[in-house]
A and B are shown apart, each in its own frame.
Chain A
Amino acid sequence: MNDIILTSDAMSVGYGKKVIVSGIDIEVRSGEILTIIGANGAGKSTILRSITSQLPLLAGTVSINNTDITAMSTHDIAKTLSVCLTDRITAEKMTCEDIVSTGRYPYTGRLGILSENDRKIVHEAMKLTGIMHLRDTDIRFISDGQRQTVMLARAIAQQPQILILDEPTSFLDINNKLKLLNILKELARDRNIAVIMTLHELDLAQRFSDRILCIKGNKADRTGSPEEIFSGDYISELYGITSGTFLPSFGTAEAAKVQGEPQVFVIGGGGSGIDTYRSLQRQGIPFAAGIIHENDIEYPVAKSLAAELIAEKAFEPISSENLQKAISIMEKCSEVICCTKYFGTMNAANKTLYEKYKSMTEA
């Protein structure tokens, strides 16, 4: 396992005397991606600003390679730790290459003139992030996604051991989000850089982080692997989700279910019913769904959206009680939609249910 490169011990962060988050203990190893998640205003950015000494710590310490950062010179910090922020760059007449070149700041002389080696490192960073074609373009005239990538290249050119990014994926489309996060993965794996970032996209946090730090109610609530954090109702609690349901396995949320007497009965299974559930939810029609196994791919969606759900235990054939229950609910519905085309041994009861429905309409 890699060495611990950054630690925070009982760190409290905030503005002025107002503590926003307290008691933060972080240990970040080289080559590891740590993502900080939490609700708006929870203090994620404040933590990053404190680690990077933009804000003074209100309590506790932050150490890099076992040295307290307050004992390090700004110059030494600049050589170990670089940042990529969402601040808009308003600099006039600077090409993307000029911007990336500023990453060499801690390494250049009194006047900041780049050496041949500095230039090489700048170009490498630009090639790695795929922005070489933008080198002569004015930073103000490129898209948000490109600008974010340029700022990442700048941070890479600084040759840090720790890379800190504040919401690097904001403003980016899905393709650019994935590209950027893949670059971070590469940096962590190939260059052994420790990455600390904040993310709003939980699905991406789940897929790209090695560890996740959750901020809730003025404290570091939990730290763990994505598997540990994305389990049970924890994410729902963390964000206090009230108008919808978070599905940990998908890393995403469903809208709030429509309550009431079911008007439609949906026979689904194997993921076939998901589109129908969402469509009914959008139209504001309360519905019942069944009979779905608890290990079915669409079970979490059906559970979140159906006013009534008839579910069977995983890997068990559907019991006759559940079938009877389904029939009685179906009889009260004005419409039945059968989404699945396949009936096998395990969901044989659904076929019975469907035939029952057909006989009802014929009668």
Chain B
Amino acid sequence: MSQKRAVRWTLCFSILLILTAVFAVLELVSGSTNITISEIFKAFTGKNAGSAANTIVMEIRLPRTISAALLGGALSVSGFLLQSFFNNPIAGPYVLGISSGAKLTVALAMMLTMQSGIFLNSAAMVGAAFIGSLLSTGAILLLSGKVKNMAQLIIAGVMIGYICSSVTELAVTFADDANIVNLHNWSMGSFSGINMENVKVIALITIITVFAAFMLSKPMSAYQLGESYAKNMGVNLKAFRLALILLSSILSACVTAFAGPVSFVGIAVPHLVKTAFGTAKPIIVIPASFIGGAVFCLACDLIARMLFAPVELSISTITAVFGAPVVIAAMLNRREQKRGV
């Protein structure tokens, strides 16, 4: 069996990597200007410097592709960390209101600084988003001590999300006219407008954080059996829980800072990955979710861009269409298994 499993896992990983490559290429070639694969190669090797195609690839499409992949991966891993923390497959940064919390603080920070004519750099945006994520997470943790029922916790999370969103809307309403367009686009969620400088920050944050999460695979697998067993196996519960919360907050903060709130990826992708790989072992699910999230967001971004081109849809419009049914499936699946026992 372990042999059979190894084959399945290798196969799944290979498929995910191939899909990542396919969608990345599609992202690069498609758009209002058609660009051939050979032109992309030329752009990469710098042979066509100065041409329009080069500029489009290097300054618009490449950063967008890389950020969609990295942020999609970050969201999925963030979702998986939260699911482990709450021992609930339908927990995620979006439904628990963590993304909305980040959105609120980023919007406030942007407005305050824009008024005084300063543009926030990437790090400051992530910082603001991180504070918002932590505030929302803190609220959820306080509530989780009071409500034992997971469904209630999710509802509380959704409500926190609504509160944060309405405060954000309120702030946007009173913002300067010039800022509104920018802010409005961002607050709907989109991978557009991310430049290469941003990409460097995104890559640094997500890769370090996801690696740190991967290094937590062992205690996470113990934690899956429940607190008591984890403790007996020698897991330092306090430190472990804190690490989970911090890492998932950093990841969702990073996503929100650059792409705004992106819905349901955090729940849908880990669920699909667990189903495809037939395991919930963190050591497999974390890397697989990262790659799976990249595939999912690349595909969704491609659809968002191309479906009604040249009109671009917000990314959440597409992720919700594909993600929400998976979330429902995950929920039903959990019910069924409960009854099955």
A residues sitting closer than 8 Å to B (CB atoms) are: 49, 52-54, 73-75, 77-78, 81-83, 85, 87, 89-94, 97-99, 102, 105-106, 108, 110-113, 135-136, 140-141, 158
Task: Determine if B274 and A89 form an interchain contact, defined as CB atoms under 8 angstroms apart.
Answer: no
Contacts of B279 in A (CB 8 A): 93-94, 98
CB distance from A253 to the nearest CB of B (A): 32
On whether the beta carbons of B224 and A91 are closer than 8 Å, the reply is yes
B229–A110 CB distance below 8 A: no
Quote the shortest CB–CB distance from A44 to chain B (angstroms): 15
Are the C-beta atoms of B280 and A85 separated by less than 8 Å? Answer: no
Contact with A along B109-124 (1 / 0, CB 8 A): 0000000000000000
What is the minimal beta-carbon distance from A95 to any residue of chain B, in angstroms? 8
CB distance from A146 to the nearest CB of B (A): 11
| Complex-state Cα separation, A137 to B129, whole angstroms | 43
B280-A94 in contact (CB<8A): yes
Cβ-defined contact, A93 with B278, below 8 A: yes
Contact: A92 with B229, CB < 8 Å?
no
Distance of A98 Cα from B235 Cα, bound (Å): 18
A112 touches B218 (CB 8 A): yes
Residues of B within 8 A of A (CB): 1, 87, 89, 215, 217-218, 221-222, 224-226, 228-229, 231-236, 274, 278-281, 283, 334, 337, 340-341
B residues near A49, Cβ cutoff 8 Å: 228
Partner of A136, one of B1, B235, B274, B337: B1
Q: Which residues of A contact B236 (CB under 8 A)?
A: 74
Q: Decide: A89 near B233, CB < 8 A? Known: A98-B281, A110-B215, A135-B1.
A: no
Contacts A93-B279, A111-B283, A112-B218 given; indicate if A106 touches B231 (C-beta within 8 A).
no
Residue contacts A-B, CB under 8 angstroms, 19 given: A49-B228, A82-B232, A83-B228, A85-B226, A93-B274, A94-B224, A94-B279, A94-B281, A97-B1, A98-B279, A99-B225, A102-B233, A106-B234, A111-B215, A112-B217, A112-B218, A135-B1, A136-B1, A140-B337
Please tell me if the beta carbons of B274 and A74 are within 8 angstroms of each other in the complex: no
Complex CA gap A106/B337 in Å reads: 30
In the complex, how many angstroms separate the beta carbon of A2 from the nearest chain B beta carbon? 24
A330 CA to B322 CA, complexed, in Å: 84
Q: A54-B228, A92-B280, A93-B278 are in contact. Are A140 and B234 (CB under 8 A)?
A: no
CB distance from B112 to the nearest CB of A (A): 43
Q: Do A102 and B215 have beta carbons less than 8 Å apart?
A: no
Chain A nearest CB from B213 CB (Å) reads 12
| Contact A83/B229 with A93-B274, A141-B341 known, Cβ cut-off 8 Å | yes
Given A105-B218, A112-B217, A140-B340, A92:B274 Cβ within 8 A = yes
Minimum-distance CB pairs A-B, first 10: A112-B218, A78-B234, A105-B233, A74-B234, A91-B224, A93-B280, A75-B234, A83-B232, A92-B280, A136-B1
In the complex, what distance in Å separates the CA atom of A74 from the CA atom of B237? 11
Given A140-B337, A140-B340; A85-B229 close (CB under 8 Å) = yes
Which residues from chain B contact A54 at a C-beta distance below 8 Å? 228, 231-232
Q: How far is the CA of A158 from the CA of B337 in the complex (A)?
A: 28
Per a CB cutoff under 8 Å, which of A89, A105, A110, A111 touches B222? A105
B-chain residues with CB within 8 Å of residue A99 when the two chains form the complex: 225
Q: Judging by beta carbons under 8 Å apart, are A102 and B229 in contact?
A: yes
> Is A102's CB under 8 angstroms from B283's CB?
no
Q: Are A91 and B280 in contact (CB under 8 A)?
A: yes
Q: How far is the CB of B338 from chain A (nearest CB, A)?
A: 8
Known A89-B226, A112-B217, A112-B218; contact A141-B87, beta-carbon cutoff 8 A? no
> Which residue of chain A is the closest to B232 with respect to CB atoms?
A83
